[in-house]
Every structure is written in structure tokens, then in C-alpha cells.
């Protein structure tokens, strides 16, 4: 079984609440960082964590899955569909980064957006264009992504903007979506800016058209991951995912459904 097959088997086990299977697909000494925090150590603890998580995320289902496999790392971007405490359905985009060893997960980081991402017209157009692109290669993707990250982290705004397509979009419902190269570059660097320390790249994984870049302030504490979509050699869409607890946001920071007035009978 390939690494991607093993990662997809884990997703299937989560979809069907197969807790023993979830444990079996993780190495006994696995370290798992979930977005609500804190870190979970060991496959038995991962199984226990999912028993609680799938109670809060009832009828949880991974949908719209996209995969990037690079070496021993498999990254899956997906949309979770689930029901909350009041049984109202909600969606939440997640980015699951799995480091594999002997067909099992040895280390795992589950980043997320806040529930119910909403896209405006410009962001929808950028996403449609990026997902419809069929060219590209891993080497070209890596070249663009590394050039962009080097420029944005060193404060070279013009060089970073040159890597971004004209009608690109940054999707982040924690700090707000951005469109246009200048706003995207400024937005990438300034959001969740640490009081002490600087951003550093802790992992870059590339496919033909998509790439995952993990960044943090402390390499031992995962903080942020971006899913970058490349179109004709330039960045078309950046989707930003967070370790929500790490940036001080609790899992219930925003209601999972729109507030509605409850009228008396």
C-alpha cells in the first residue's frame, strides 16, 4: 500500500468512525497535533481523541479531497461536513499533513480554517481558475513556491508580488480574505505576527499544481500551513490553515452556523 493509499485509508476510517482502524494506521509512538490542541502522543491516545472529536463533529465526512505526495509526506486538503451540538450541518476546511513510515502515520499535523468559509465573487473566480488548470510540474511548482517564500519572509515585496498572478486570492476566514498581489503579500506577513521571533519555513511539499508550505515561529510548535495553487507558473490561490489553539483561538470561537433570531411561539 502506497503512502497516499494509507492516508486515504485513514480518511475512510475517520468517515466511518472505525476507531480501532484509526489506531492501527498510526505508529504506536505517533505525535499528532490537531488544530483544537494540544498535541496527542501515541496511537491509543489518537484513538481516544477521535472518539471525542467525532462526538462533537457528528456524521463527520471528508469531502473535496486533494492530495500532494512528496517523499514520505502526504498532505490532504479537504472540506469536513459535520453536524454540531445542535445538529445543524456545517463545513470546515482542513489540511492534514501526514509523515509516513512503513505504511503508517509517524507524525501528523491537522490544520484548519474556521467553520463555514464564505467566498466573494473575486475569490470564487480565482479558485475556479486555479482548480481548472491542468498543467504544471513538481519542479516548476517548487521553484515558484521557494522564490515566493524567500521574498515574502525577507521583506522583498516586489519580488514576492512578481510570483503572484494578477487576479489571485488569499483565503483565510480567521484574519480575512485578500485579493491582489500587494494585499496578499502584506496580509501573509502581518497576520498572527509573533511578538517574539520570526516566521520560518518548517516544511515544503510540492505536487504538479499544488504545494503545501508549513511555517512557524518555533519549529517544535506547528502554527500555520498554506496550500498554494499554481497557475501558469504563478500563484493563483493561497489557502491559509491554522493551528487555532496555537494562535489563541478556541474551537468554539465562532459559532458553526449563522445566528438567527428565535421568535416566540
Q: Distance between CA atoms of 43 and 28, rounded to whole angstroms?
A: 5
Q: Distance between CA 65 and CA 62 in Å, rounded?
A: 7
104, 159: one domain: no
CA pair distance 214, 221, nearest whole angstrom: 11
Whether 233 is in a domain gets the answer: yes
Among 88, 112, 136, the domain boundary falls at 112
Same domain, 84 and 140: no
How far is 49 from 58, CA to CA, in rounded Å? 14
Residue 47 lies in a domain: yes
Global pTM reads 0.92
pLDDT tens digits along 86-138? 788 999 999 999 999 999 999 999 999 999 999 989 999 999 999 888 888 99
Give the confidence band of 197 by pLDDT, cuts at 50, 70, 90: confident
If asked whether residues 107 and 130 sit together in one domain, one would say no
Residues 133 and 237 reside in one and the same domain:
yes
From 112, 135, 170, give the residue that closes a domain: 112
Taking residues 37-52, report their average pLDDT.
96
Dist. CA 183–CA 113, nearest whole Å: 20
CATH code where residue 192 lies: 3.10.450.50
Whether residue 144 lies inside any domain: the answer is: yes
Determine contact, residues 26/114, Cβ cutoff 8 Å.
no
pLDDT tier, 85 (very low <50, low <70, confident <90, very high otherwise): confident
DSSP H or E segment with residue 33: strand 26-34
Q: Cell 521557494 identifies what position?
A: 146
Domain count, the chain: 2
Domain boundary among 80, 112, 144: 112
- Contact (CB, 8 A) for 142 and 204: yes
**Residue located via cell numbers 500587494:** 182
Confidence class for position 198, pLDDT limits 50, 70, 90: confident
pLDDT given at position 53:
96
| Structural domain boundaries enclosing 25 | 3-112
Distance between CA atoms of 62 and 219, rounded to whole angstroms? 28
Instruction: Report how far residue 102's alpha carbon sits from residue 72's, in angstroms, rounded to the nearest whole number.
Output: 10
Q: What is each CA distance from 263 to 239, 257, 260, in whole angstroms?
A: 38, 17, 9
Confidence of residue 78 (pLDDT cuts 50, 70, 90): very high
Alpha carbon distance 180, 164 (integer Å): 8
Instruction: Examine the pLDDT at 263 and tell me if it is beyond 50.
Output: no
Amino acid at each position: 500500500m502506497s503512502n497516499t493509499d494509507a492516508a486515504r485509508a485513514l480518511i475512510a476510517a475517520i468517515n466511518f468512525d472505525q476507531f480501532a482502524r484509526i489506531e492501527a494506521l498510526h505508529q504506536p509512538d505517533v505525535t499528532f497535533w490537531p488544530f483544537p490542541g494540544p498535541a496527542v502522543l501515541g496511537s491509543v491516545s489518537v484513538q481516544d481523541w477521535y472518539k471525542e472529536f467525532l462526538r462533537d463533529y457528528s456524521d463527520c465526512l471528508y469531502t473535496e479531497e486533494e492530495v500532494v505526495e512528496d517523499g514520505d509526506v502526504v498532505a490532504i486538503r479537504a472540506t469536513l461536513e459535520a453536524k454540531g451540538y445542535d445538529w445543524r450541518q456545517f463545513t470546515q476546511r482542513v489540511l492534514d499533513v501526514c509523515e509516513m513510515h512503513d505504511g503508517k502515520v509517524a507524525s501528523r499535523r491537522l490544520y484548519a480554517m474556521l467553520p463555514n468559509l464564505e467566498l466573494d465573487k473575486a475569490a470564487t473566480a480565482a479558485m475556479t481558475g486555479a482548480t481548472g488548470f491542468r498543467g504544471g510540474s513538481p519542479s516548476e511548482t517548487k521553484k515558484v513556491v521557494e522564490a515566493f517564500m524567500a521574498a515574502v519572509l525577507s521583506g522583498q515585496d516586489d519580488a514576492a508580488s512578481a510570483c503572484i498572478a494578477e487576479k489571485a486570492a488569499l483565503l483565510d476566514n480567521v484574519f480575512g480574505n485578500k485579493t491582489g498581489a500587494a494585499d496578499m503579500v502584506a496580509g501573509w506577513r502581518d497576520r498572527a505576527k509573533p511578538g517574539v521571533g520570526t516566521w520560518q519555513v518548517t516544511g515544503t511539499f510540492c505536487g504538479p499544481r499544488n504545494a503545501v508550505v508549513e511555517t512557524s515561529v518555533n519549529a517544535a510548535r506547528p502554527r500555520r500551513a498554506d496550500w498554494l495553487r499554481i497557475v501558469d507558473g504563478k500563484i493563483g490561490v493561497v489557502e491559509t490553515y491554522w493551528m487555532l489553539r496555537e494562535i489563541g483561538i478556541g474551537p468554539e470561537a465562532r459559532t458553526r452556523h449563522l445566528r438567527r433570531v428565535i421568535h416566540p411561539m
